[in-house]
């Protein structure tokens, strides 16, 4: 399914957080949402999902998302919030099972069990099934929540900084996995993140958010350049195209006065 965001605007207490945001997510494609802290990345994801009442349109294959009932909407679109690792006395199996919340009854149906097992196996988590969440490492736990988000076969995935707390290897593995399920399951994925190099390496498209507006959008090689980084982030950076055609960003110095004095 294609997700279209048009003229999205949102504000808290009169001050605008998002202004005239437009973007398109296509099935099987992974878009990276980048931008400085406070640019409105999380707010944008929450507005798309309908957790915040925003002006503008969110269209799913041309039909307004607002028209979908709550359970149906959360089945089609899944959102992985950026929150502290959950501490709950739940097993991995139960946590992923919760991804199918709307079909669960007191007695868990066979189809829910089978679907949960299938996705656990697909993500290589089946041996963790009976482990409790607190027995896992941060990377493993994050993988469990990504798996939970996939449990009901969503058509759109909105992921809020899923790799922020992970080490280098886990970051790569996580992005690799997200890219794999995005393309295999034809999901339209939007992934908020900070690392521009990883975004360029893994995403099909990049959307740069600056003070609540889309500053640039397109293929990483088109979007990433020294001028954009200086204006959006206030950082002088060296941007080069590597042999494989991917841009690589080497940050050189901050333009903030405080750091020049130091």
Q: Would you tell me which residues interact with another protein (CB under 8 A)?
A: 49, 51, 70-71, 73-75, 78-81, 83-84, 86-91, 93-95, 98-99, 101-102, 104, 106, 113-114, 117-118, 120-121, 123-130, 132, 134, 139-140, 143, 145, 149, 169-170, 172-173, 176-177, 179-180, 183-184, 204
Please report how close the Cβ of residue 44 comes to another protein at its closest, in angstroms.
15
The nearer residue to another protein, 130 or 259, going by C-beta atoms, is: 130
Please report how close the Cβ of residue 145 comes to another protein at its closest, in angstroms.
7
Please report how close the Cβ of residue 177 comes to another protein at its closest, in angstroms.
7
Is 207 in contact with 32 (CB distance < 8 Å)? yes
CA distance 84 to 180: 25
The nearer residue to another protein, 87 or 258, going by C-beta atoms, is: 87
Instruction: Calculate the alpha carbon distances from 163 to 13, 49, 132 in Å.
Output: 31, 20, 21
The nearer residue to another protein, 125 or 207, going by C-beta atoms, is: 125
The nearer residue to another protein, 191 or 214, going by C-beta atoms, is: 191
Please report how close the Cβ of residue 251 comes to another protein at its closest, in angstroms.
26
The nearer residue to another protein, 155 or 179, going by C-beta atoms, is: 179
Work out the angle between the directed axes of helices 110-122 and 138-150 (0-180°, nearest 10): 130
Tokens of 111: 């189809």
The nearer residue to another protein, 6 or 180, going by C-beta atoms, is: 180
CA distance 99 to 146: 10
CA distance 154 to 150: 6
Query: Which SS3 state, helix, strand or coil, does residue 164 take?
Result: coil
Per DSSP, the chain holds a count of helices (H) and strands (E) of 10, 12
Q: Which H or E run contains 208?
A: strand 205-210
Is 193 in contact with 33 (CB distance < 8 Å)? yes
Instruction: Calculate the alpha carbon distances from 250 to 89, 132, 253 in Å.
Output: 43, 40, 10
Please report how close the Cβ of residue 155 comes to another protein at its closest, in angstroms.
15
Please report how close the Cβ of residue 89 comes to another protein at its closest, in angstroms.
4
């Amino acid at each position: 399914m294609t997700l279209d965001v048009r003229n999205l605007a949102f504000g808290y207490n009169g001050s605008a957080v998002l202004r005239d945001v437009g973007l398109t997510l296509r099935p099987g494609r992974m878009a990276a949402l980048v931008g400085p802290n406070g640019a409105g990345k999380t707010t944008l994801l929450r507005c798309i999902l309908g957790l915040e009442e925003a002006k503008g349109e969110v269209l799913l294959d041309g039909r307004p998302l607002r028209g979908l009932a709550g359970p149906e909407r959360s089945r089609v679109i899944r959102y992985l919030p950026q929150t502290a690792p959950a501490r709950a006395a739940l097993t991995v199996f139960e946590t992923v099972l919760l991804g199918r919340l709307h079909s669960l009854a007191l007695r868990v149906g066979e189809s829910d069990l089978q679907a949960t097992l299938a996705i656990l196996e697909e993500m290589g988590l089946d041996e963790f099934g009976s482990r409790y969440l607190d027995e896992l490492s941060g990377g493993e736990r994050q993988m469990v929540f990504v798996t939970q988000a996939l449990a009901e076969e969503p058509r759109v995935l909105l992921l809020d900084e899923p790799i922020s707390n992970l080490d280098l290897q886990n970051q790569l593995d996580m992005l690799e996995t997200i890219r794999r399920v995005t393309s295999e399951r034809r999901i339209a994925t939007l992934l908020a993140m900070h690392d521009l190099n990883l975004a360029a390496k893994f995403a099909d498209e990049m959307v740069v958010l600056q003070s609540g507006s889309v500053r640039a959008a397109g293929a990483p090689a088109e979007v990433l350049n020294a001028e954009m980084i200086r204006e959006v982030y206030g950082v002088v950076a060296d941007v080069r195209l590597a042999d494989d055609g991917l841009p690589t960003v080497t940050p050189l110095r901050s333009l903030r006065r405080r750091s020049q004095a130091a």
